[in-house]
Amino acid sequence: MTDSTPAQRTELSSLGEFGLIKHLTESFVCEQPSTIKGIGDDAAVIDYGDKVTLVSTDLLVEGVHFDLAYMPLRHLGYKCATVNFSDIVAMNGTPRQLFVGISVSNRFPVEALEEIYEGIRLACKRYNVDLAGGDTTSSVSGLFLSLTVTGEAAKEDVVYRNTAKENDLICVTGDLGSAYMGLLLLEREKKVYEADPGMQPDLAGFDYILERQLKPEPRTDIIELLKTVGVKPTAMIDISDGLASEVLHICEDSEEFNIQPVTAAMNGGEDYELLFTINMNDFEKVKDLEGINIIGHMTEANSGVYLATNNGPLIQIEALGWNHMRDEE
């Protein structure tokens, strides 16, 4: 996936609000039978029959959630979409429709927005999700993206984050910390560039961690895998703010940078892997599944949340990852 913004510049004012919406979305075709009415009316009409409708929303702000110094616009669109899909997957559901609100200043031409929407389109196509609506408005500073995703699940299949029980096994998918290391790499190279604009970024050999940061994928495959072996998680959440933070959520309601892998995994965030619990009777069904690791078990509520280290001591888990409302130091 490449970011190839053309040299041509079309001013936003030349299209107007509704002309811009039509221009950016006319290539989207609704494929879901449940999308009775998509873009083009005051609201989308979605019919799920006897299934549950799942809805999640996310707001992304330039300079807070993404840095355009190293985030290609097409990757930004793709990531905005997939991280929202991940919220539906974490409910044991299937994403179906996406709504995109965008607030943009006049420093961005139409071609820049085309790149963002092309990334969104690629994500929607890959995960069979319809772009069903949204809104656009002007901004006096920067770029803002507000996304809402709806999904579906049978009532009996929905999994919440507050339903784990004592002695349930704690499982995690994939590898953790790589997205954080990708972010550190990009931040490092940005500082080098700011100090000397003549320097080219040194990114060779780091394709994997860069993709984990710039182009995360929701674990829809894990949901299908668990269904195949007849296992329904007892609780589940996606890992957006670091494993430590998400473990606490469930319990309560690397060498380049001289960082210990466990630190990156526990507090890095943006992996969008799944953290879930299962009944201990399902151990045999899960223990050999590729992409899933059993990392612990639930204890009674008053015993605390601890990391057991290899050499014995228990370390109390604290969430040190991303916190949107944390005071700036």
Q: Is residue 206 part of a domain?
A: yes
Report the alpha-carbon distance of residue 249 to residue 51 in Å, rounded: 27
Instruction: Determine the pLDDT at residue 186.
Output: 92
Asked if residue 110 and residue 196 are part of one domain, the reply reads no
Instruction: Determine the pLDDT at residue 198.
Output: 87
Asked if residue 301 and residue 262 are part of one domain, the reply reads yes
Q: What are phi and psi of 278, to 5 degrees?
A: -135, 155
Average model confidence (pLDDT) for the chain? 85
Report the alpha-carbon distance of residue 202 to residue 92 in Å, rounded: 39
Q: Is-contact 192 261, C-beta < 8 A? A: no
Instruction: Determine the pLDDT at residue 77.
Output: 97
Asked if residue 153 and residue 45 are part of one domain, the reply reads yes
**Given 157, 186, 210, which residue is the final one in a domain?**
157
Asked if residue 212 and residue 292 are part of one domain, the reply reads yes
Handedness of CA 265, 269, 273, 278 (dihedral sign): positive
Asked if residue 190 and residue 143 are part of one domain, the reply reads no
Asked if residue 237 and residue 137 are part of one domain, the reply reads no
Q: Is residue 162 part of a domain?
A: no
Report the alpha-carbon distance of residue 308 to residue 314 in Å, rounded: 5
pLDDT 10s digits, 49-59: 778 889 998 89
Q: Is residue 164 part of a domain?
A: no
Q: Is residue 323 part of a domain?
A: no
Q: Is residue 322 part of a domain?
A: no
**Given 125, 157, 189, which residue is the final one in a domain?**
157
Instruction: Determine the pLDDT at residue 320.
Output: 52
Q: Please count the structural domains in the chain.
A: 2
Cα Rg of the chain, angstroms:
21
Q: Is residue 6 part of a domain?
A: no
Segments in the chain below pLDDT 70: 1-6, 41-43, 244, 246-247, 249-268, 303-304, 306-329
Say what the pTM is. 0.82
**Given 136, 157, 178, which residue is the final one in a domain?**
157
Q: Largest alpha-carbon pair distance within the chain?
A: 66
Asked if residue 219 and residue 182 are part of one domain, the reply reads yes
Q: Is-contact 97 35, C-beta < 8 A? A: yes
Q: Is-contact 237 276, C-beta < 8 A? A: yes
Q: Is residue 8 part of a domain?
A: no
- The one-letter code for the residue type at 158 is V
Burial (0-12, 13-18, 19+ Cβ within 10 Å), 203:
middle
What CATH number is associated with residue 242?
3.90.650.10
Q: Is residue 31 part of a domain?
A: yes
Asked if residue 75 and residue 115 are part of one domain, the reply reads yes
Structural domain boundaries enclosing 216? 169-316
Asked if residue 188 and residue 261 are part of one domain, the reply reads yes
What CATH number is associated with residue 125?
3.30.1330.10
pLDDT 10s digits, 20-31: 888 988 889 888
